[in-house]
Structure 1
Amino acid sequence: MDQHLEVFIKVVEKENFSKAAEELHMTQPAVSQYIRALEETIGTRLLERSNKFVRLNKAGEIVYHHAKEIVALYTKMHYLVDDLTNNASGPIAIGASYTFGEYILPHIIARMQLQSPLISPTIKIHNTKEIIDLVSSYQLDIGVIEGVFKDDSLNAEIVSEDKMVIVAAPHHHLLKKKNEIDFSELAGETWILREKGSGTREAADNLFQLNEFAPGKIMEFGSTQLIKESVEAGLGISLVSRWALDKELANGYLGEVQVRGLPFKRNFSILTRSLFQTKALKVFIETLREYVASAGHERKHL
């Protein structure tokens, strides 16, 4: 692969020629020469330089974005060829939305490491929209998102069902009701929800629309764990995945509000960009399917 792109990416990410040279085990003049040669090839300056900083200009932003994709594709090509004769090994970049990434993915990674210790996973946790963008730009080998994805640019597959319930603090008045309540009885409650762009927020919005319901007050928080802690503290109620509630429900930190028509069901889907999969990626997908199938079977009998 053209080393000019690797040097350029490193300079951009370190924002400094000398730091990039140190990490690349090169001299600073050599790094500068690579950058000048790349700029001559492209036909324009890519970086704004001063004694204090190195920054991308508009042309540099375009080159950096595509250079990252080129490097990712080259690395994937290398491991695909290597896989023809070797066992599953090497890096795999995994992305997941928050619910799956924080409460399910660690168990899958642990199981995969027992079976294939030569695989080296790196994990990024973002909301659903950001995971889709990272898979689309080849920054991730695979993404696991909440909901169903419909776009021909990526390969999508539903891998598990997710049940979502409404939870409240242990002494909340809604938990004292003996029978199921109607959704309309939640009109006066404060709802603690994820931000727009997250799969969990999309599920909540879909549930509200389905019940022709408009929450009177919404508080937006950026993580499921923060939402659970806030609900436990009595700030309001929330719609949360059952996958994320095992410890809280078992220990009585939160209670499930019995609402007519719930649990609300959605899906977890996997997204990939390339038609070719390394052995490492295949092993991860197989492990994921096995884990969610076995865990889902156990939950049905609880």
Structure 2
Amino acid sequence: MDQSLLVFVTVAEKGSFSRAAEQLHMTQPAVSQQIQALERGLGTRLLERNNKYVRLNKAGEIVYHHAKEILGLHGRMRDLVNDLLHTPSGNLVIGASYTFGEYVLPHVIARMRERYPLIRPSISIHNTKEIVELVQNRQLDVGIVEGECRDDKLSIEPFADDEMQIIASPAHRLAGRDSAAIPELEEETWIVREEGSGTREAADKMFDRLAFRPESLMEFGSTQIIKESVEAGLGVSLLSTWAIRKELKLGTLTIIRHPEMPIRRKFSLVTQANPFRTKALEIFLELVRHDEVVTTGAGESE
């Protein structure tokens, strides 16, 4: 592996030669020499730098994007070779959409760490669209996404069902009713996730299915903020039963009934479409497919 690529990526992410040097256990002059050598080899400057900041220029953005992919490929190559000789170990870079990543994935990781302590997982939480892009760019070993996902260049494996319910504060006017009427739902303030989120996709499909558009719509970028807002009586929302299990048990949220509910959707595993997978990745995939929280958690409601 070209050491200068690792140094360059670290400088770009830390935004500082000194912080990069500290991270890499190098001297600052050595870091500068590596960057200069890379720039000479490519025939152009890659960084804009002064006393206040270090940041990528246009050429630097191109090199950074490809350097991340090269470093990821090198790491996976090393892990594959290491798998032939040793017990499962190495880095495992996991990306997950918010619902699965925040409410289910921690249980899977805990189980994996208990059985395979030499596997070192790192987790990134993004919306579905971003997760797919990161897997495409080889910046993630595996992604877990919600809703529909299609890509001919990736392996996409549905592995779990999820149920989504309309939720509100227990003090809400529709709470405890046998069924809410469509006009009543239409006049509510709906709190939804951002565009690109699988949860937002499910909400938009529900509006189409029930043939109404909310008179008032609020868009938040976090499921936790949505739950807090609904608890406070700010509006209603559509969320996964995985995300609201604790609140339902505590009685701080309640489900609004309707004959067309719940909405059902799939969660999928997204990986590169190639036959070479590390033992760490294979172990993780098997744990996700058979984890008790995954196989029994969906569908729990009041």
**Above 0.5 in TM-score?**
yes
Normalising by structure 1, what TM-score?
A: 0.94
Residues 22 and 187 from structure 1, CA distance in 2 versus in 1: closer, same or farther, beyond 3 angstroms?
A: closer
Task: Describe how 1:69-148 pairs up with structure 2 within 5 A.
Answer: 69-148=69-148
Q: CA deviation at 1:140?
A: 1.0
SS, match of residue 174 in structure 1 = coil
Amino acid at match of 2:164: M
CA deviation digits over 1:242-261, x for unaligned, max 9?
A: 11121111221111111111
Residues 111 and 22 from structure 1, CA distance in 2 versus in 1: closer, same or farther, beyond 3 angstroms?
A: closer
Unaligned runs of 5+ in 1: none
Task: Describe how 1:179-258 pairs up with structure 2 within 5 A.
Answer: 179-258=178-257
Q: Does the 8 Å CA contact 1:160/1:292 hold for their aligned counterparts?
A: no
Q: Does the 8 Å CA contact 1:148/1:158 hold for their aligned counterparts?
A: no
Residues 274 and 92 from structure 1, CA distance in 2 versus in 1: closer, same or farther, beyond 3 angstroms?
A: farther
Q: CA deviation at 1:92?
A: 0.5
Residues 236 and 79 from structure 1, CA distance in 2 versus in 1: closer, same or farther, beyond 3 angstroms?
A: same
Residues 292 and 157 from structure 1, CA distance in 2 versus in 1: closer, same or farther, beyond 3 angstroms?
A: farther
Q: Does the 8 Å CA contact 2:245/2:301 hold for their aligned counterparts?
A: no
Instruction: Give the paired residue count.
Output: 301
Q: CA deviation at 1:294?
A: 6.3
**What's 1:29 paired with?**
29
Residues in 2 aligned to 1:271 and 1:221: alpha-carbon distance in whole angstroms: 25
Residues in 2 aligned to 1:119 and 1:255: alpha-carbon distance in whole angstroms: 39
Amino acid at match of 2:256: V
**What's 1:281 paired with?**
281
Task: Describe how 1:160-175 pairs up with structure 2 within 5 A.
Answer: 160-175=160-175
Q: Does the 8 Å CA contact 1:183/1:260 hold for their aligned counterparts?
A: no
Residues in 2 aligned to 1:222 and 1:253: alpha-carbon distance in whole angstroms: 21
CA deviation digits over 1:90-127, x for unaligned, max 9?
A: 11011111110111111111111122111111111111
Higher alpha-carbon deviation: 51-60 or 248-257: 51-60
Residues 44 and 214 from structure 1, CA distance in 2 versus in 1: closer, same or farther, beyond 3 angstroms?
A: same
> What percentage of aligned pairs have identical amino acids?
56
Amino acid at match of 2:224: Q
**What's 2:262 paired with?**
263
CA deviation digits over 1:71-100, x for unaligned, max 9?
A: 011000100111112111111011111110
Residues 7 and 274 from structure 1, CA distance in 2 versus in 1: closer, same or farther, beyond 3 angstroms?
A: farther
Q: Does the 8 Å CA contact 2:89/2:120 hold for their aligned counterparts?
A: yes
How well do the aligned residues superpose, as a CA RMSD in angstroms?
A: 1.9
SS, match of residue 175 in structure 1 = coil
